[in-house]
Amino acid sequence: MYEDDEADWSGDGVSLAAHQNPSDQDVEMTLRPRKLSEFVGQARVREQLELVLHGALKRGDQPDHVLFSGPPGLGKTSLSMIIATELGTSIRVTSGPALERPGDLAAMLSNLSEGDVLFIDEIHRIARPAEEMLYLAMEDYRVDIVVGKGPGATSIPLELAPFTLVGATTRSGALTGPLRDRFGFTAHMEFYAPEELELVVRRSAGILGVDLRDDGAVEIAGRSRGTPRIANRLLRRVRDFAEVRADGAVTREVARAALEVYDVDELGLDRLDRAVLSALINSFRGGPVGISTLAVAVGEEATTVEEVCEPYLVRAGLLARTPRGRVATAAAWHHLGLVPPEHAPGLFDE
C-alpha cells in the first residue's frame, strides 16, 4: 500500500531501498488501496480531495489539477490512481525526468482521452521547455507545436481533450511559481502516526495472508519511520523470518528478532543511519561537520546522506543542522550508548 515510485529511505542489512524485483512490484500493486475509503491516514487530505472530486462530478466538470507534495512513501502515487478510479477514467503515468523535450510532453498529451488523469511523478524535475508547454495545456487544454526553424518557423495550435493533471513532488520548493500556481488543489502529505501505521500493516497482512498478532503490528509500526511504504516492506521481511525461523505467526518477539537480522533498530534506524551517527560522534566528536565530509566518512554520496538519512535523523531529534555543519544531539549519544558532552544540543531540554 502507498508505494510511490520515488527513492525509498528504508533500510536493512542488505538495504531495503535496493532495486525491487518484479515480484515485489506485483505485491506493492496488490497492497495499493483502490478507493478513498480504503486509504488509511492523511484524513485532512482525503476529506479535501473528496470534496474536489465529488464536487466536480456533481457539476459535470473536469476537476482542478492536483499537486501532492511530501516525503517519499506516503501515498502520493496511490492517491493519483485513486483519483482516476473515483472519476471512472484512465490514468497515464510518467515522470518529470522523462519529459526532456516539449515533443515528449506533446505526444503524451495528444494521446489523452477526455477526462483522463495524467500523473507526473517528480514533477519538479521536468525540463523547462516542457514545463512552459505544460502551462498552456493546463489552462486552455491546448499546445502550440512549432514546425520548422528560423524565420520560416510556424506555430500550429493543437487542441487537447480536457484532462486532470496530478503532480507529485518530494521538493515543493523546487517548483517554479508559475507551475505551482496552475494547480487548483495542493496537498502536503504528513508522516503517519504509529496508530495509523498499525492499521496499514494489519490491512496489508490481511491481503498477504500473514498471521499478524496485535503486538507484532505495534512493533513493526513503531519501527517504520512514519512511512507506510517502509511499514509494508518491513512486514514482508518479518513474514519471511516468521515462516522460515518461527511458526509463521508474527508476534512482538518474532518481529524484534526479524528486524534485528535486517539491522533495523527500535527507532527504525538502519545500518547507514547508525553509520552516520557513529561517524559524527566517534570521528568528529559530535560535530559540527560538513555534509560532504560526513558522507566521505561513511563511504556514501553527499546527496544520499542529505536526502535519505538526514530527514529522519533530524525529525527523530538525533541530528541538528547548524550554520557550521551537522551536530549530533544528546539523544544520538544516548542512542549509541555513549555519554554526551555538555555542549551537545538537547542535553538539558525537558
**What does the block give as the cell for 161?**
481533450
How far apart, in whole angstroms, are the C-alpha atoms of residue 73 and residue 137? Answer: 29
Q: Please give the positions annotated as active site.
A: 76-77, 121, 170, 229
Alpha helices in 227-349 (DSSP H): 228-245, 252-261, 271-278, 291-298, 302-304, 310-315, 330-335
**Which of 16-20, 237-241, 325-329 has the weakest average pLDDT?**
16-20
Q: What is the DSSP string of 125-149?
A: GS-HHHHHHHHHHHHHSEEEEEESS
182 marked ligand binding residue: yes
Q: Are residues 290 and 218 in the same domain?
A: no
Q: Are 184 and 64 in contact (CB under 8 A)?
A: yes
List of residues 6+ apart from 125 with CB closer than 8 A = 95, 96, 97, 174
256 marked ligand binding residue: no
229 marked ligand binding residue: yes
Q: What is the CATH number of the domain that holds 214?
A: 1.10.8.60
Q: Residue 244's pLDDT band (boundaries 50, 70, 90)?
A: very high
Q: What pLDDT is recorded for position 215? A: 95
Per-residue pLDDT tens digits for 74-104: 999 999 999 999 999 999 999 999 998 888 8
Per-residue pLDDT tens digits for 295-337: 999 898 988 888 888 888 998 899 988 899 899 999 999 998 8
Per-residue pLDDT tens digits for 141-159: 988 776 656 665 677 778 8
pTM (predicted TM-score): 0.82
Q: Are residues 178 and 236 in the same domain?
A: no
* 293 found inside a domain: yes
Q: Are residues 286 and 231 in the same domain?
A: no
Q: Are residues 216 and 105 in the same domain?
A: no
32 marked ligand binding residue: yes
- Phi-psi bin for 36: left (phi > 0), alpha (psi -120 to 50), beta? alpha
171 marked ligand binding residue: no
Q: Are 170 and 70 in contact (CB under 8 A)?
A: yes
- Residue numbers of the domain that contains 238: 194-261
How far apart, in whole angstroms, are the C-alpha atoms of residue 220 and residue 141? Answer: 46
* 299 found inside a domain: yes
Residue (of 184, 238, 187) closest to 208 by Cα position: 238
Report helix angle 22-31 to 194-208, nearest 10: 110
